[in-house]
Amino acid sequence: MPTTSGPDGRDRSARAVVRVSSPTERRNPRSAELDLMSTRDVLRVINDDDRRVPAAVATVLDEIAVAVELAVTALRAGGRVHYFGAGTSGRLGVLDAAELAPTFNAPDRWFCAHLAGGPEAMWRAVEDAEDDEAGGAAQARECVRAGDLVVGLAASGRTPYVLGALRAATDLGADTVLFCADPDAAAARAVTVFIGVDTGPEVVTGSTRMKAATAQKLVLNGFSTAVMVRLGRVYSNLMIDMVATNAKLRGRMISILVEATGCAEEVAQRALTEADGDLKAALVSLLSGAAVADARAALDRSANQVRGAIALLAS
């Protein structure tokens, strides 16, 4: 058989072919005449279908809650949460992990995102990366430890790179979660928690950057935010562990102290200065009336929980 080489010199004569049966690969009757519609109608059809996503996510909140508690347990014990994904799924995992440090001052080691094909795959598709089951397993063996939580992100529920990582993680003693857009994915039986969101067929058949990705963004937002809430990184609905990396965020710190305590802006500014920019210590100090040093000590004794620290100071 003659061989055909691609621009990178690799043999193209025997390429694997897989027919995927995930709901995301089916035809969507609501968009069957998409190419005949006006621009406004194309946008309406997409928007109408997108409305189905939050309702689909609502059906798996119990499963997400279990995953949250597993993550909290892992992080409190010194473990980590890992995201493994390919393509759009992997990119959204990277995005979620990257936003946790500036929003919640989460330590870099807490959430680790692994993308099939490496950093280059953030910007363009890396050929066959998602089919590298051995590569996913090898990456998991390099960094996953017993007690960690490994979250697999795969729209179809069958991505070899992701499943390889999940199997290796299980062998290493880590809990595992699979999030996908196929409620009937065969891999559901192989993980600790299965989150199968029924987003149905895409407006553009097979384009999982659409509803499947929207569902994943909602699930990851809910999952990681709930983890941060449980770990004391939120007081009321205020982000009290944020990193002030610009003028807007420095102003937000003052606003948070004013909102949470009812104090004047100059009082909030003074407390923040006395706490060397530590918003949480300043908040506990203002709410309890204690000195900043005592507020910090109480936070250390209460696992960094504001309400717990205030209770200790009150007693």
> What does DSSP assign to residue 49?
H
Cα Rg of the chain, angstroms: 23
Task: Answer yes or no: are the C-beta atoms of 150 and 144 closer than 8 Å.
Answer: yes
Q: What is the DSSP letter of 125?
A: P
Separation between Cα atoms, residue 282 and residue 290, nearest integer Å: 10
Q: Detail the DSSP E strand segments found in 124-269.
A: 149-153, 175-180, 193-196, 234-235, 238-239
Give catalytic residue positions: 99, 130
The dihedral of CA 109, 113, 118, 120: what is its sign?
Answer: negative
User: Which residue's entry shows tokens 């918003």?
Assistant: 279
Instruction: Name the nearest CA neighbour of 176 among 136, 197, 149.
Output: 149
